[in-house]
Structure 1
Amino acid sequence: MTANSALALVSFDDAGAATGHRMIDPDEAVLRVTELAATRGDGIFETVGLSNGRPLKLARHLVRMANSTRMLDLPEQDPAIWSAALHAVADALGPADEGWVKMVLSRGIEGGTTPTGWAYGMVAPSFAPERADGIRVVLLDRGYRHDVAATSPWLLQGAKTISYAVNRSAYREATRRDADDVVFTSSDGYLLEGPTSNLVLRDGMRLRTPRTDLGILAGTTQAELFAWAGERGYQTSYDLLTPADLAASDAAWLVSSVRLAAPIRSVDGTAKPVDAALTTAFNDHLRGLTAEG
């Protein structure tokens, strides 16, 4: 049997470390109106894709969650506790073809000292059309220089925070421009990432992605694809890339944990070739990962 959604509430000790979880009705009201996740966007999250009920790349997500936790000065967490909560939610959802589980760690109640945390999962619609037909993207200036992570670390570039108003606004702007998604650029002209994805370019037998020191989120899916491609004769690199590099590339993708690898078929209205064979190979690999991959 498959449920459409499931929720596990995480418990914490006095030091703010997770101690366990309990499954609750996803329609139950569990957050207070003074919860900082809602009033300040003060917290972090990770969204783990599911394929036939199996979590994908969970180990990579837990490492990135720990990094975001440190960047926001949140209490250190035991990944085993969060992994158990995630698996409980995935099990409750059942063997749906596609889905996701989002792990959220908030600073907690305004004025309090105990975090709030939960793992929430849903069955996802099929992304087969995007993977097969490709997506249209527009380039949008994020408004920061490419070195903002080094010059202004308090801006938390590279942490996966729950402050997503700008990313949602970027998607609305893409819709206004008759596009499906966005590739952010720095104010000084370098390619960065999508609102919820990483950019990968192919030039012959070389795969390239923007450097992770540019204030972007290190991609779990991108890293997995680079590891896979490296075993198959591709060169992989993290580079300073420009819109001209995107235009000149043989093919390009936006890759993420739920949609997986979506080929880019146009940039700012200009058509781009789609590498259908490599896209299929990418997604076959990603969907075939083991639960702890």
Structure 2
Amino acid sequence: MKPLTLHLIDLSVPGGSITRHEPDETLVRVDDLGITRGDGIFEVAAVLHGTPLALEAHLARFARSARMLDLPEPDLDLWRRAVGAAAADMADQPGLTAVKFIMTRGIEGAASAPTGWALGFLADDPAPAQAEGLDVVLLDRGYRHDVADTSPWLLAGAKTLAYAINKAALREAERRGADDVIFISSDGYVLEGPSSTLIARIDGTYITPPVSLGILPGTTQGDVFADLERQGVPTRVDTLSVNDLETAGAMWLCSSTRGAAPIRTLDGRRITVDHRATELINTGLDARRQ
């Protein structure tokens, strides 16, 4: 990730304020709870030619995560302006950029306002993953599928800064010679990737797991389904088992900056890569950028 622009959001004043800074400036305190505890939330919106993509869906998910963590309700207009300002700074950048926007609980041990900022950066080129596909492994997340209902304090389905487990899972995938991960619940339900949403095509229907399993609402997956539905292609939100994945004709992992990347192997088993469908899906995603 190459930082390109930074906007600090002062949440301590009524209505908030936004100031532009150089991305290498030192602005976050070492006793900020986002640093010391991972106590905060974030979103990443892809940007092309200065326009953030699926921003309203990202803002809605940002607010959802804030409620789950008992953080102050974010002023979405303020955050919309901050993300828009960071995106506009990158309008002349070739290729795909992105904005990561973050809110932490603030300074540890102080009755302070949350800390917020929007960081614009150059995103990795998604073309290789889209063209070549991904080698993926299944990893047990260690929770039952109903963890969001039985144990809401575990924050399943919130996009928090506490990403150590997700990063550990990706390192485990690398140790196994793979690129990415699909988490499964301890009782055998298919969940999501560390930073992606799964779509499986089974008998011609595109299926993604429901957020009731304690997973994030997929912003990119939502756009994919909306485009498929406009074309009359059947889609469904439904539970999937590991056995269901064995019947899938094709599968994709979807994320904001990677688009829809096909899965070419799952636990070493070869999966058909439907290049034509992948191209059509990503063309539909690209149309959001016009």
Percent identical residues: 49
Contact 1:62 1:79 in 2 (8 A): yes
User: Take 2:28 and 2:236, find their aligned partners in 1: how far apart are those partners?
Assistant: 43
Aligned 8 A contact 2:157 2:215 in 1: yes
Partner of 1:224: 223
Cα drift, residue 98 of structure 1: 0.5
Say if 2:49 and 2:90, in contact at 8 Å, map to a contact too: no
Quote the offset at 1:8 in angstroms. 0.3
3-state secondary structure, aligned to 1:139: strand
Amino acid at match of 2:31: T
* Structure 2: distance between partners of 1:18 and 1:285: 37
Aligned residue pairs: how many? Answer: 287
**Structure 1 counterpart SS, 2:84:** helix
After the TM superposition, which residues 244-263 of structure 1 pair with which residues of structure 2 at under 5 Å, given as runs? 244-263=243-262
When normalised by structure 2's length, the TM-score is: 0.96
> In the aligned structure 2, how far is the partner of 1:219 from the partner of 1:107?
24
Matches within 5 A, 1:2-41: 5-13=4-12, 19-41=16-38
1:146–1:187: 8 Å Cα contact kept in structure 2? yes
SS across alignment from 1:178: coil
Q: Post-superposition shift, 1:222?
A: 0.7
Deviates more, 1:47-56 or 1:149-158: 47-56
Aligned-partner Cα distance in 1 for 2:210–2:266: 21
> Deviation at 1:126?
1.1
Q: Does 1:272 align with 2:271?
A: yes
Distance 1:18 1:130, change over 3 A: farther
The 1:277/1:155 distance shift into structure 2, 3 A limit, reads same
Q: Distance in 2 between matches of 1:45 and 1:118?
A: 10
Q: TM-score, normalised by structure 1?
A: 0.95
Distance 1:144 1:249 in 2: 24
Alignment of 1:1-293 (within 5 A): 5-13=4-12, 19-95=16-92, 96-112=94-110, 113-290=112-289
Deviation by residue 1:34-66 (Cα, 9 ceiling, x = unmatched): 010000000000000112332110011011111
Point out where structure 1 has 5 or more consecutive residues left out of the alignment: none
CA distance in structure 2 between the aligned counterparts of 1:263 and 1:190, rounded to whole angstroms? 20
Partners in 1 of 2:147 and 2:11 — Cα distance?
Answer: 34
Divergent runs of 4+, >3 A: none
Residue 92 of structure 1 aligns to which amino acid in structure 2? Answer: D
* 3-state SS of paired residue (2:162): coil
For residues 75 and 63 of structure 2, the distance between their equivalents in structure 1, rounded to whole angstroms, comes to: 9
- Structure 2's unaligned 5+ residue stretches are none
Q: Structure 1's 136 and 82: CA in aligned 2 closer, same or farther, altered over 3 A?
A: same
